[in-house]
Structure 1
Amino acid sequence: MNSPTLDAPLGRSRLVVWYAIFAAISIGANLGSQKFAFWLYQGAFAVPLSVCIGTGVGLVVKYLLDKAWIFRYPHRSVAHGIQTFAMYVAMGLGTTLVFWVVEFGADAIFHTEPARLMGGAIGLVLGYFAKYHLDKRFVFA
């Protein structure tokens, strides 16, 4: 499979494939940084702290990939770039809530790190499906 280029728009099937690949990369960055943060600190608030760190890392990775490769969105200025990122974060609040509910729900039910991370992966997949449509309509329009 050829990698996308900035000068050619993606067809629908290629868009789905690349979006899924980038979502998988972002999920890996999120869950990997959660695991690393949890390994570094296992104190009183280790799980919520690791989830917040993972969410932040995953957010930045996904934003950079989506902006450049999925939506091919140029910024007119630094201020426009900041505004776009802020809108991206705002559109992600609801989808992040879905992700967190599924992840913390799996943790509450099964009480194991693998179950929590699997819940996180499932929540991220559900959230990314909705997020694509929000980003297309409101962020990178």
Structure 2
Amino acid sequence: MKLAITYVILALIATMANLAAQDLVVRLYSGAFSIFLSILFGTAVGLVMKYVLDKRYIFCFRAQNAAHDGRTFILYSVMGLATTVIFWGMEFAFQHAFGTKEMRYLGGVIGLAIGYLTKYQLDKRYVFKVAAS
């Protein structure tokens, strides 16, 4: 139960970082593709933050060296591709359906929640299990 609570708290932290990064991009740039660029930037920020938090607090992973950490991050990122489709799909769907940033962010939160639940299972089975071997 403690692990589940910790995972939820860390997912919320990464979600807030993602949304804050998105909001920053939209505030700084309102031109063509601003929403797409904000979601892309937020995804990158959230990915790096979630990796750092997961490897330390969820999986207690210690890389052997920088190359090992890099390979693990790449595998972590690849496992995140499917969950990113879920997240982006929800966020773009809410943007299309409601047309407001608040609803777009709500779609993003819902998509991230679904994605993070899926990602935990993938990371546990494939990323940090393989990386530890």
Deviation at 1:77, TM superposition (A): 1.5
Partner of 1:35: 23
Partner of 1:124: 112
Q: 1:57 aligns with which of 25, 31, 45?
A: 45
The structure 1 segments of at least 4 consecutive aligned residues displaced by more than 4 Å after TM superposition are: none
Taking the TM superposition and a 5 Å limit, the aligned residue runs for 1:1-141 are 13-141=1-129
Which ranges in structure 1 are unaligned for 5 or more consecutive residues? 1-12
Q: Identity across aligned pairs (percent)?
A: 47
Deviation at 1:69, TM superposition (A): 0.6
Which ranges in structure 2 are unaligned for 5 or more consecutive residues? none
TM-score by length of 1: 0.91
Higher share in helix = 2
Q: CA RMSD in A?
A: 0.4
Distance 1:81 1:33 in 2: 24
Kindly provide the CA deviation profile for residues 12-34 of structure 1, in whole angstroms up to 9, marking residues without a partner as x: x0000000000000000000110
Deviation at 1:100, TM superposition (A): 0.3
